[in-house]
Structure 1
Amino acid sequence: MIGSLSPGRRTRDLAELPGSTVDVVVVGGGVTGAGVALDAASRGLSVVLLERADLAAGTSRWSSKLVHGGLRYLAHGEIGLARESARERAVLMGATAAHLVRPLPFLVPDVAGRDVTALAELGGRLGDAVRLSVPGGRGSLPSTRRVRADDVARLTPGVRPGAGGVVFWDGQLTDDARLVVALARTAAAYGARVLTGAEVRAVDSADVHVRVDGADLSLRAGVVVNAAGVWSQQLAPGIRLVPSRGSHLVVPADRLGSPSAAMTVPLPGSRSRYVFALPQPGGLVYLGLTDEPVDGPVPDEDPLPSDGEVQQLLDTMNQVLDEPLARGDLVGAYAGLRPLVLPESAGTGPGDATADLSRKHLLRWDGAVLSVVGGKLTTYRAMAEEAVDAVVARLGRGARRTTTARLPLVGSAPRVALERVAAPQRLVARYGTEAPLVESLGPALVVAGRDETVGELRFAVRHEGARSVADLLDRRTRIGLVPADRERAVAVAEQVLAEG
């Protein structure tokens, strides 16, 4: 199995770690850290990735599951950032993760206001122009267009009837955590050692001190890449972060008429922020996204949406719904923390709202530690490329140019090849060319009424580094997004873990 993160491999990698010397130690197993590990390993550098919990345990699993082209950046005049997002979206959709990304229509209904849809149409057409200007963008998505009332009723049945709207297109991830796992496994295929449950306690010049499975050990690194996201200040106290919380609600799709397009409604008083109702596989819709500043120390536990955020999301979406949503309709909710970077030129006061801070990333050296923080999930590869360029320059070895823009992740293949994979389409959309193996490991359902199979749990334990019930239910699958379903799945997950 290519890049298998098996229990046996973890045992071997861990045994080789104490006292070893490697080119790069990556701290953090989110999308940025996994992307850096892949880029560095594919350039011929020796790499160890250390993650204190699990792959995608932090911010990277709490996104809106979108690979977007940066329409919001255009509204803020950040043309370069919008072009970077559009370019990276094309890379993911066309070259590196075609099995995980699909085109998704976004509908802005006229019932939200004709001035709103006029602005959305202008923004959509500007986004189309940006898409056409980047490699791979032409033909990757349909163009923005106005639609009639019957189209609105077909695409988003929950919207109040009788009016048309505007449709623009973007990319949707099957699952953000699956992207991180695919990156980590591809890095492992290039020789990177990927160790979860490994907490970096300190970096002393070239010495990296780690606690793994209750034991302390040390190794030496040419460079330490700090990709710890909102926790980056633990290794680089000088970084100025302003974390913000982004929250989503989980709603049964049939409560909104089972939409096939994302419903898009502007946040009252804003010309660049929207609330989306994003249809998901498995009969769910995610309703988001908020942008609330987080004060005080960053907690280790997962954040939760506030009552105010829940009400804001419901109130905003209810402006256009025929039958308004209530709190009783919710089957789950989740929140994540964004590691927004405060510019060096900013003062020491509270400054602007987090919604107005740029999503540009920061690259900063502190001795042997290179911190890469900020940015967006969509642009992880570009961030990793820039970081590893700096690492190669510092070390004086490793390939000077990256190949990750054309390097398929495990499971990926051209769309014509994916269409021929002999497995259920749902599994192909999550595992790509590996779907037949996943299916062979057991077709039984984990929870009645859901699609996830026991084979998916077994595959996660045997090849994806899953070591706990939380790894299985909250990250390798997303059963945990509906707490009632998670409770019913725990016994099956425990049984699969016991099997090994």
Structure 2
Amino acid sequence: MGSLSPARRARDLAELPGATVDVVVVGGGVTGAGVALDAASRGLSVALFERQDLAAGTSRWSSKLVHGGLRYLAHGEIGLARESARERAVLMGATAPHLVRPLPFLVPDVAGRDVTALAELGGRAADAIRFSVPGGRGSLPSTRRVGADDVARMTPGVRPGAGGVVFWDGQLVDDARLVVALARTAAAYGARIVPGVEVLAVDGADVHVRVDDEAFALRAGAVVNAAGVWSQKLAPGIRLVPSRGSHLVVPASVLGSPSAAMTVPLPGSRSRYVFALPQPDGLVYLGLTDEPVEGPVPDGDPQPSEAEVQQLLDTVNQVLSSPLSRDDLVGAYAGYRPLVLPESAGTGPGDSTADLSRKHLLRWDGPVLSVVGGKLTTYRAMAEETVDAVVARLGRGAARSTTARLPLVGAAPRVALDRVSAPERLVARYGTEAPRVEALGPALVVAGRPETVGELRFAVEHEGARTVSDLLDRRTRIGLVPADRERAVAVAEQVLAER
């Protein structure tokens, strides 16, 4: 089943010094984990090294959406929109149906009838693209206009008396859980997945790493640099223009516990929106911003600026009956986007990182193949293209990827998931493994939240969690509400002590 147990990590670390592998993957985010799975499933020997923990960087700070590419249509990037729609259908229908659910997005008329007219036009164009990709036609409902009663029911916090437009997209139960599922599935195919290892340098075929203040080297046929905004450490010639995207966290109750994502255009923009995204745990995430990041990207987690907080509140408050204030916030988070500056561009990004393409870059620098940019939704296609290039370079490994029909751990058809004997919430996060998680302990980690002690134990025993932060900030997302995290630390420490 691809268990990332403490014993397996110890065994891998004992065997890797001086070893030779086909592929070393640097970076344990969604791209790196996707590359590891694609390579291992083609028969290549793989070692994935991550400086901190799985999904420790950008991959846990997204909007938790599997986009169909509506925004790309606004920029005329039809190919990217179609790729996104295709990959969304793969996730929802084949590889991770337990982790993705359909989510309605409501654009209310109180934001302006010209706004909803444009949203309806874009939604119908996105529907047409969805119909054109395999598995897309039946994966989501179609765009439609709704009346005032529907608006009041779906988004109770919106000013009453007007209708709106509803389009549909995919929502991940948790972006970090997707990364963990990818890594564990790669491990089931033989990949060595080793967080807590920093790659120091690549010298020809020699890869120099450090773990727990000890250094060692191994040899690799190819090194895939999937370190995101930190990719320039191994490939200084890559031209990145990182941006910061920020979200606010509020209790769902302050917005009337919406069942649809509320969608409000950013003032002055025809292609950027602020979303109020309802979560299964009684929270709503308000996002998202797009701010350039000047200078070297720090290693630590970014924080929303005061201006971003105000921008998000001001935008969403345009359509609310009762405006939100900073007192309503229970948390906030931000992440870096590894945007790629085109080779044809000048020395700077221009006016706005929001206008840069989300296309990815694939480039060899000696034995190092960097894959950077792109979106969480299209990780699998990026990984497939990356491993195609590795296979061509090495002259071994299966020529074609099978990951578009390869279920991740816990995945099953929807009809089978509905028969799993476990709480619905656990099935949405662990799929067919939910009964095993439930058996490890149903007690709540903290009162008033749904996470269980069994989830923490499962994370330690099978998901590679080694620290309190691994448990509270990535395997679960208790840490998105700092007050809840503080209450959960003692329980997390106790579970780690059980090892």
TM-score norm. by structure 1 comes to 1.00
1:325 aligns with 2:324: yes
CA contact (8 A) 2:241 2:349 kept: no
1:142-291 aligned within 5 A: 142-291=141-290
SS in 1 for 2:62: coil
Question: Which stretch has the larger CA shift, 414-423 or 344-353?
Answer: 344-353
Counterpart position of 1:441:
440
For 1:135 and 1:442, the matched residues in 2 are separated by 40
1:275-424 to structure 2, matched below 5 A, reads 275-424=274-423
Deviation at 1:214, TM superposition (A): 1.5
For 1:102, what is the secondary structure of its paired residue? strand
Give 2:274's aligned amino acid: V
Give distance in 1, aligned partners of 2:263 and 2:325: 18
Cα deviation, 1:27-62, whole Å, max 9, x if unaligned, reads 000000000000000000000000010000000000
> How far off its partner does 1:349 sit?
3.3
Aligned with 1:402: secondary structure?
A: coil
Count how many residue pairs are aligned between Structure 1 and Structure 2. Answer: 499
How far residue 146 of structure 1 moved from its aligned partner, in angstroms, is: 0.2
Query: Shift of residue 213 of structure 1?
Result: 1.5
Q: Report the counterpart of residue 42 of structure 2 in structure 1.
A: 43
Structure 1's consecutive aligned runs of 4 or more residues displaced over 3 angstroms after TM superposition are: none
The separation in 1 between residues aligned to 2:433 and 2:348, in whole angstroms, is 51
In structure 2, runs of 5+ residues without a counterpart are none
Residues of 2 paired with 1:379 and 1:232: CA distance? 18
> Could you list the per-position Cα deviations for residues 298-352 of structure 1 after superposition, in whole angstroms to 9, with x for gaps in the alignment?
0000000000000000000000000000000000000000000000000113423
Q: Distance in 2 between matches of 1:344 and 1:100?
A: 36
CA displacement, residues 384-433 of structure 1 (integer Å, 9 cap, x when unaligned): 00000000000000000000000000000000000000000000000000
SS of alignment partner, residue 203 of structure 1:
strand
**If the length of structure 2 is used for normalisation, what is the TM-score?**
1.00
Residues 1:92 and 2:88 are matched in the alignment? no
For 1:126-174, what per-residue CA distance to the aligned partner results, in whole angstroms no more than 9, with x for missing partners? 0000000101101100000000000000000000000000000000000
Task: Tell me what 1:468 maps to.
Answer: 467
For the residues of structure 2 that align with 1:216 and 1:333, how far apart are their CA atoms?
Answer: 37
Say if 2:61 and 2:335, in contact at 8 Å, map to a contact too.
yes
Other-structure match for 1:55: 54
Q: SS state of the match for residue 493, structure 1?
A: helix
Aligned to 1:66: 65
SS at match of 2:47: strand
Provide the rounded CA distance (Å) in 1 between the counterparts of 2:347 and 2:293: 16
Q: Deviations over 1:69-116 (max 9, x none)?
A: 000000000000000000000000000000000000000000000000
Answer whether contact 2:292 2:353 (CA < 8 A) is retained: yes
- 2:13 is aligned to 14
Q: CA deviation at 1:118?
A: 0.2
Kindly provide the CA deviation profile for residues 256-295 of structure 1, in whole angstroms up to 9, marking residues without a partner as x: 0000000000000000000000000111000000000000
Separation in structure 2 between the aligned mates of residue 416 and residue 86 of structure 1, nearest angstrom = 23
Q: Which residue of 2 aligns with 1:25?
A: 24
> Does the aligned pair in 1 maintain the 2:22–2:222 contact within 8 Å?
yes
1:313 and 1:348 map into 2 onto residues whose CA distance is 30
**Native 8 Å contact 2:341 2:349 kept in 1:** no
Letter in 1 for 2:287: G
CA distance in 2 between partners of 1:327 and 1:296 (Å): 29
Structure 1, unmatched stretches of 5+, are none
Q: Distance in 2 between matches of 1:359 and 1:68?
A: 12
The one-letter amino acid of 1:292's match is: E
Aligned equivalents of 2:397 and 2:319: distance in 1?
A: 54
Equivalent pairs: percent with the same residue? 88
CA-to-partner distance for each residue in 1:452-483, whole Å, 9 max, x for gaps? Answer: 00000000000000000000000000000000
Report Cα offsets for 1:176-209 as digits up to 9, x if no partner: 0000000000000000000000000111011000
Alignment match, 1:430 = 429
Q: Deviations over 1:207-254 (max 9, x none)?
A: 000001211000000000000000000000000000000000000000
Matched, 1:117 2:110: no
